[in-house]
Amino acid sequence: MISLIDIIIQLGGVLVEQATKAKWPEELIAAIQAAVDKFAAVKNDPVTKAQLESLRG
């Protein structure tokens, strides 16, 4: 089943493509791409015990 995060990632990809064609400022395109990447990272990065243990000390 497709989730809202999947929709945002897909929508963001289309947006970056269209904004590049429309010659939007590179900083704005980079910011949009960073937001999409952040969503993709959150989606693929669940919390696990091993991960938490690696953050000790």
User: Is the separation of the CB atoms in 43 and 5 below 8 Å?
Assistant: yes
The terminus-to-terminus CA distance of the chain in angstroms comes to 39
Assess 40 for contact with another protein (CB under 8 A): no
Assess 33 for contact with another protein (CB under 8 A): no
CA 34: distance to chain centroid?
Answer: 6
Q: Give how many residues touch another protein by CB under 8 A.
A: 29
Q: Which residues bind another protein (CB under 8 A)?
A: 4-5, 7-8, 11-12, 14-15, 18-19, 21-22, 24, 32, 35, 39, 42, 45-53, 55-57
